[in-house]
Structure 1
């Protein structure tokens, strides 16, 4: 099983970040965290390290209803929440890569049968968001 769903879009990086947030919201996810890895590398490791990496952000997306179900079934699953979504673009790239965690990973790590249902619903919503982004990108 692949632990990530990955698409590549022709959207500029900043537009891709904005559109990902919109599509996640459309699917019932809120963005709890936003980690700008590029800025962190620049501050902690220097400009050269950040430039080598390129643009890179990790969004911590959470669907409260699904998170509640997962944590009710197995409180330890908080270690796997929120669902991470990465938007990245290397300095020489002409496309932007968008990746979302495959929620089925939770099923592999949990013995609670209720987790399958939560993972299925989260997966369905994340895949719908990615499909909308891919469709939008291909129509431009």
Structure 2
């Protein structure tokens, strides 16, 4: 089972992070948290991150969608499709988001399907805009 939605960009890491933030904002997602995984591992585990590629987790949230999901199931906060990863992948940069349909698959709650479908449309639009900007910009 695939649980990610991914696009690869032929751009530097910092540009990919900035463009990802912008693309998510256009789709109604704000960034609540940012975890620089590379820096964190390097600081906490000196040898672990020496070869770690650039890797950032953006904690994105679309408040109306999150509210709808939480109204259906208060425990769904564990599975909200909020994390977006931007990481170096060889000579490219990968941008990955959790497939929102994972919420429905794991919980079996059909009432979450409309939320997952809208979140999927929005995340796919954000990822597609990155790919489109990449090829035309």
Q: Partner of 2:122 in structure 1?
A: 125
For these two proteins, the number of residue pairs brought into alignment is 137
Q: Partner of 2:38 in structure 1?
A: 38
Q: TM-score of the superposition, structure 1-length normalised?
A: 0.92
Q: 1:28 offset after TM fit, Å?
A: 0.3
Runs (5+) with no aligned partner, structure 1: none
Q: 1:137 offset after TM fit, Å?
A: 1.1
* Shift >4 Å, 4+ stretches: none
User: Is residue 105 of structure 2 the alignment partner of residue 108 of structure 1?
Assistant: yes
Contact 1:9–1:138, Cα closer than 8 Å, also in 2: no
For residues 12-91 of structure 1, what are the structure 2 equivalents within 5 Å?
A: 12-46=12-46, 48-81=47-80, 83-90=82-89
Q: Cα distance 1:5–1:82, how it changes in 2: closer, same or farther (>3 A)?
A: closer
Is the partner of 1:52 in helix, strand or coil? coil
Determine the C-alpha separation between the residues in 1 that align with 2:88 and 2:110. 38
Is the partner of 1:53 in helix, strand or coil? coil
Partner of residue 135 from structure 1, selected from 129, 132, 135:
132
RMSD between superposed Cα atoms in Å: 1.3
Q: TM-score of the superposition, structure 2-length normalised?
A: 0.94
Determine the C-alpha separation between the residues in 2 that align with 1:97 and 1:2. 16
